[in-house]
Amino acid sequence: MKRRAYSFPSDQAEINVSPLIDMVFILLIFFIVATSFVNEVGITPKYKDSASPSNENKRPLTFRLSASGQILKNGSVIGIEEVAPIVRTAHADFKASILVQVSPGSKAGLATEVMDQALLGGAKAIKLSPLLQ
C-alpha cells in the first residue's frame, strides 16, 4: 500500500490584539482613577516657621546620634523614651523644630525612631543633618 503525501493547507492561527490593547488602556485608566494620593509627613528642608516672627530667634532642638547607637542631648546620653517628653516641654508655647544630627556609622533605624518620638512629642518640623567630625 502506497501512502500519498497530501499537502494540507496549514492553519495559521492569528491572534487579534486590538481587544487586548483596549483592555490594557481600560485597566490603566481604572488604576489611575482608583489611586489615592496621600500626603505623608516627611522631612522638611526648613526648620524656621516664616508665618510667626516670634519664633525667629529660637534655635531648633538638637539631638545627636552617635555611631555607637547613643542619643545625645547637650552632651548627655538620653534614652529613646526621653525624646518625646523633651520635645513636649522644651517649647511648650509653640511646636518645636527639631534637628537630628547623625554621625557617620549610626543606624538609620535609630534616626527613624528619634524622628517618630519627636513627632509624638509635638514637633512641627524635623531635619536630618550629617554630623561632621
Mapped onto helix, strand or coil, the DSSP state of residue 128 is strand
Question: Residue 23 has what pLDDT?
Answer: 93
Contact criterion met (CB below 8 Å) for 99 and 124: no
Q: Can you give the pLDDT at residue 19?
A: 86
Q: Which residues of 85-115 are buried (b: 16+ CB within 10 A; e: fewer)?
A: ebbeebbeeeebbbbbbbbeebeeebbeebb
Domains of the chain with CATH codes: 53-130 (3.30.420)
| Residue 72 to residues 6, 94, 98, 114, 127, Cα–Cα distance (Å) | 90, 23, 13, 11, 16
**pLDDT in 10s for each residue of the chain, 133 residues:** 566 656 566 677 788 888 889 999 999 999 988 887 766 666 655 555 555 555 456 678 889 998 898 898 988 899 999 888 888 887 666 667 888 889 888 888 888 899 999 888 888 888 888 877 6
- Asked if residue 107 lies in contact with residue 114, where contact means CB atoms within 8 angstroms, the answer is no
What pLDDT is attached to residue 55? 47
